[in-house]
């Protein structure tokens, strides 16, 4: 079988040669004695035109099929006389592999909304939109490994089942083999974990960071890239309960090194897809975000703004004072930035990606390094236009006493985290890292506005279908 992608790249050399291929028909057009199949096999954005003339044994059958039918074809590659393509296939033999004319095929309508397709994720991979999105998702993942390899980071796999709450936010899914039906007998009983699989409370990880830190304290530069889980009851277009996170961690890095790494990484990803996926990007630009390619090109050659949380608050207060904008949520020093505030910074004020650093410790995770002011931490969030927070990271607290104090403030049990404290006690060095939400990045580069449209089978509150 020849992939349609290879037909397009090697087309001129293949002229007059015989090939075998398959594909799903995007359209079947018939005139009197000739039929045209536009086939796509998922390998690329475009379709190859297959010309069937009436000498074909099953011409009547083939030319009567609907869009969505899967065909396999033996034929000869020829120069195309038609507009919009340089080659086409003159069919010698066509087999109807999978028919769709039986009742109930939901993709027969011409235009299908994203909302409608969200109800049938098991079928949406065969649409042009989702083909483009998932090929881009592949490219971003692949380029991630290339980038970190080139920067001398080693790929680690941190555990998915864990006893610790990395973010200290209590948004954990429990992992247990206990019979919950038996526990729920109405009486207030204490769970005896001796009967549970791990003999202690266990959860799905919210982040691989703590384990990555341990690995970085021996391998120097590492990254983990895996699924993470948050039992956060958020019904927004930017939250999933199962999402993928890329988390580098580097010994010897301070916060500025960390931001440099994040900025270079993002630009590398953008460069990669601009080179590798021009057809996908052109398609998505045409249908979802007109300026997609220009805005990616602009970001790749811009310097990302870096400012402190305190400066960000001043900008927002100033904008409100001058009646440039009205916010639903109050802007006040000491409270976290809401997404409307983040959007103002990226979309209106700076018109590009922005690093916000040095947030108050009160709403940031326990592991972030305390500044000398005892009030703010060496944190950085990267905010990007249209999305908001894409990356969260920090320099890590490397002083054991300070770390212990922050853990107590966050009501974390020091015993559970003793191994993490030991990393400070034994042969420690300053280190930093960050986490990038893969799906948020895919949203950014595809122009998709709902996170449920950039992961194959989204999980969110109330939904673990498929």
DSSP 345-363: IIIIISSS-EEEE--BGGG
Q: Provide the minimum distance between the beta carbon of 262 and Mg ion in the complex, in angstroms, as a whole number.
A: 13
3-state secondary structure of 177: coil
Q: Is 348 left (phi over 0), alpha (psi -120 to 50) or beta?
A: alpha
Q: End-to-end CA distance of the chain, in Å? A: 30
Rule CB under 6 A: say whether 353 interacts with ligand 4AD. no
Tell me, residue by residue from 215 to 234, as one string, x for binding to ligand 4AD by CB under 6 A and - for no binding: ---------------x-x--
**Which of 35/455 has CB closer to ligand 4AD?**
455
Q: Provide the minimum distance between the beta carbon of 372 and Mg ion in the complex, in angstroms, as a whole number.
A: 23
**Which of 331/379 has CB closer to Mg ion?**
379
How many chain residues bind ligand 4AD (CB under 6 A)? 23
The DSSP letter of residue 277 is -
Rule CB under 6 A: say whether 389 interacts with ligand 4AD. yes
**Rounded CA separation 258/381 (Å):** 11
Q: Provide the minimum distance between the beta carbon of 101 and Mg ion in the complex, in angstroms, as a whole number.
A: 49
Q: Provide the minimum distance between the beta carbon of 232 and ligand 4AD in the complex, in angstroms, as a whole number.
A: 5
| Alpha-carbon distances, residue 176 vs 77, 162, 243 (angstroms) | 58, 12, 21
> Residue 24 touches which of Mg ion, ligand 4AD, none (CB < 5 to 8 A by kind)?
none
**Which of 195/457 has CB closer to ligand 4AD?**
457
**Which of 248/392 has CB closer to Mg ion?**
392
Helix (H) or strand (E) holding 185: none
Tell me, residue by residue from 407 to 446, as one string, x for binding to ligand 4AD by CB under 6 A and - for no binding: --------------------------xxxxx-xx------
**Which of 129/432 has CB closer to ligand 4AD?**
432
Q: What angle do CA 218, 224, 226 make, to 5 degrees?
A: 150
For residue 2, report the phi and psi dihedrals to the nearest 5 degrees: -95, 135
Rule CB under 6 A: say whether 358 interacts with ligand 4AD. no
Say which residues have a Cβ less than 8 Å from residue 196's Cβ, sequence separation at least 6.
176, 177, 178, 202
Tell which one of 240, 250, 407, 454 touches ligand 4AD (CB under 6 A). Answer: 240
Tell which one of 166, 266, 284, 383 touches ligand 4AD (CB under 6 A). Answer: 166
**Which of 171/257 has CB closer to Mg ion?**
171
Binding site for ligand 4AD (CB under 6 A): 166-167, 207, 209, 230, 232, 239-240, 243, 245, 247, 389-393, 433-437, 439-440
């Amino acid at each position: 079988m020849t992939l349609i992608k290879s037909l397009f790249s090697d087309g001129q050399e293949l002229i007059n040669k015989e090939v075998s291929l398959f594909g799903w028909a995007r359209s079947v057009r018939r005139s009197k004695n000739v039929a045209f199949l536009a086939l796509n096999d998922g390998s690329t954005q475009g379709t190859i035109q297959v010309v069937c003339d009436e000498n074909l044994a099953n011409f009547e059958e083939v030319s009567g099929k609907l869009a969505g039918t899967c065909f396999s074809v033996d034929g000869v590659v020829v120069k195309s006389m038609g507009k919009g393509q340089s080659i086409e296939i003159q069919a010698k033999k066509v087999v109807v592999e999978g028919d769709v004319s039986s009742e109930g095929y939901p993709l027969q309508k011409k235009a299908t909304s994203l909302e409608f397709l969200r109800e049938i994720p098991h079928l949406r991979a065969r649409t042009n939109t989702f083909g483009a999105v998932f090929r881009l998702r592949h490219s971003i993942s692949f380029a991630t490994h290339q980038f970190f390899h080139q920067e001398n980071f080693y790929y680690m796999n941190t555990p998915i089942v864990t006893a610790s709450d990395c973010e200290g936010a209590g948004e954990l899914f429990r992992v247990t083999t206990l019979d919950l039906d038996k526990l729920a007998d109405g009486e207030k009983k204490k769970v005896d974990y001796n009967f549970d699989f791990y003999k202690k409370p266990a959860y799905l990880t919210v982040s691989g960071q703590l384990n990555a830190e341990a690995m970085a304290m021996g391998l120097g530069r590492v990254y983990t890239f895996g699924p993470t889980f948050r039992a956060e009851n958020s019904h927004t277009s930017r939250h999933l309960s199962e999402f993928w996170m890329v988390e580098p961690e580097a010994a010897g890095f301070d916060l500025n090194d960390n931001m440099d790494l994040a900025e270079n990484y993002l630009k590398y990803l953008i460069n990669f897809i601009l080179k590798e996926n021009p057809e996908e990007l052109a398609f998505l630009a045409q249908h979802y975000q007109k300026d997609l390619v220009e805005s990616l090109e602009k970001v790749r050659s811009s310097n990302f703004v870096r400012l402190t949380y305190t400066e960000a608050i001043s900008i927002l207060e100033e904008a409100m004072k001058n009646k440039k904008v009205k916010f639903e949520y109050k802007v006040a020093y000491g409270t976290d930035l809401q997404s409307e505030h983040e959007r103002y910074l990226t979309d209106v004020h700076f018109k590009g990606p922005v690093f916000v650093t040095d947030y108050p410790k009160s709403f940031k995770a326990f592991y972030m390094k305390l500044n000398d002011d005892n009030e703010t931490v060496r944190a950085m969030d990267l905010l990007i236009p249209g999305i908001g927070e894409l990356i969260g990271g920090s320099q890590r607290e490397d002083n054991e006493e300070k770390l212990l104090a922050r853990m107590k403030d966050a009501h974390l049990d020091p015993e559970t985290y003793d191994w993490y404290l030991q990393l400070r006690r034994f042969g420690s060095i300053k280190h930093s890292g960050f986490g990038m939400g893969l799906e948020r990045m895919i949203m950014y580069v595809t122009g998709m506005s709902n996170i449920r449209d950039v992961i194959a089978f989204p999980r969110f509150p109330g939904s673990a279908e498929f």
